[in-house]
Amino acid sequence: MPPMLPPPGHADPFVPMPPPARHPADSIVLPEAKLPSRWKRPIKHTGVVWVMAIAAAAWCAGMLGVYVGARLQTNETSTAYRSSTQPVVIGGPRDELLEQRLDVAGVNAALAPSVVAVSSDIGSNGLTGEGVGTGVVLTEDGQILTNAHVVEDASEVRVRLFGELDPRPAKVLAIDPSNDLALLQVEVTGLSPATLADPSTVRVGDEVVAIGFALDLDGEPSVTLGIVSALNRTILTEIGALDGLIQTDAAISSGNSGGPLVNAAGQVVGINTAVARGDSETAASNIGFAISMNQVLPELEILRAQANGEEFASGFLGVQLGERSDGGAGAPVTEIVPASPAEDAGIETGDIVIAIDGQDIYGSGGVIGAIRDNKPGDQVTVVIERDGEEKTFEVILTDRPPQEG
């Protein structure tokens, strides 16, 4: 039994940006377009904002579906592709360039050859459409990273490279909806890989630019400037959590999904994935999220291994969780699964989880994300608060038990 998400009404939703549908130039649907409720893709997070998908076409948003299924799945097609074995390029320690004002034109020119348009044919319930997102070149021989929600459930995926007019067919090598990342491969050499930033070099207040094919507008990618607003944010989805996120005020729209968030050195600090918006009761302004390199780099190893036929299973702790209503941090344990690792370790109902493996926990999403990224057999250190005292447990995770019924 997976950790329980907060009940409806106890959390405010965040959603990834669905790829905009292709459309005639005179029929662009603005972000304010109303979507049928069954076509929205909510991500829930305890907070003060409501977020809806920024869609260029309502029917395309519906076709993306929700994040369901196995942690990692391959897209089975008849085209033969070989996964790249080239290493990704990772930047060095923080240098003086990062202390200077960001040169938007210079950074954009440096990154342009590494940013690609990703288009996909998506069908659901008899409807078909084409979505558009963004990708980042990882290797010279055609390996590309994008968001899972850009290519999930796609029957065909294409990539248009820098300087080319026509798209190339692409293979989805591996996809992880729970972390919203997917690995693509195109049969081409001579590409310009992006440099991925050392996670330790990213600081709140750093200037960054978001690059991507916003709203599938004609021409080259859109570039927006902002700062790193916060680090290590967590947002909840219906089936899990995105954790370790970078919050930014750089404008992000549909079509930016899967594109890079870039620092002054021209290094990718995150993969743009979600945006927050207000409603009639709450206000949200310039709140976007990117998956940080702290999450991307280990996930790349998992995706590459899965592309080569290896399977990955998430670890199982065995707790159901709630959210604190008193303004405090941590995730209250509302139920313990019998004979689970949590019960065996001595964790009890009413405990408040405040840290896992040295990472502070601010809500249930932090627990879900931390456990999801570990395998059965891994040992995790869980710190809880019980009756005003902290207690530490060493817990060995197990395989998730089969669902009944």
pLDDT digits (tens, 9 = 90+) for 257-311: 999 999 999 999 999 999 887 777 777 788 999 999 999 999 999 999 989 888 8
Model confidence pLDDT, tens digit, residues 211-230:
999 998 888 999 999 999 99
For residue 158, is pLDDT > 80?
Answer: yes
Bridge partners of 235?
242
Q: Is 23 a catalytic residue?
A: no
Average pLDDT over residues 165-189: 94
Supply angle C-alpha 203, 215, 250, rounded to 5: 20
Q: Where would I find the H helices in 128-230?
A: 148-151
CA-to-CA distance for 9 and 14, rounded, in angstroms?
14
What per-residue confidence (pLDDT) applies to 80?
61
- Is 71 buried (19+), middle (13-18) or exposed (0-12) by CB count in 10 A? middle
CB 172 within 8 A of CB 183: yes
- Is 313 buried (19+), middle (13-18) or exposed (0-12) by CB count in 10 A? middle
What per-residue confidence (pLDDT) applies to 162?
95
Q: Is 180 a catalytic residue?
A: yes
Give me the catalytic one of 12, 153, 176, 180: 180
Give me the catalytic one of 141, 149, 216, 314: 149
What per-residue confidence (pLDDT) applies to 17?
62
Model confidence pLDDT, tens digit, residues 41-95:
333 333 333 333 333 333 333 333 323 233 334 344 444 677 788 888 998 888 7
Q: Where would I find the H helices in 238-317?
A: 293-307
For residue 33, is pLDDT > 50?
Answer: no
Q: Is 45 a catalytic residue?
A: no
CA-to-CA distance for 342 and 318, rounded, in angstroms?
6
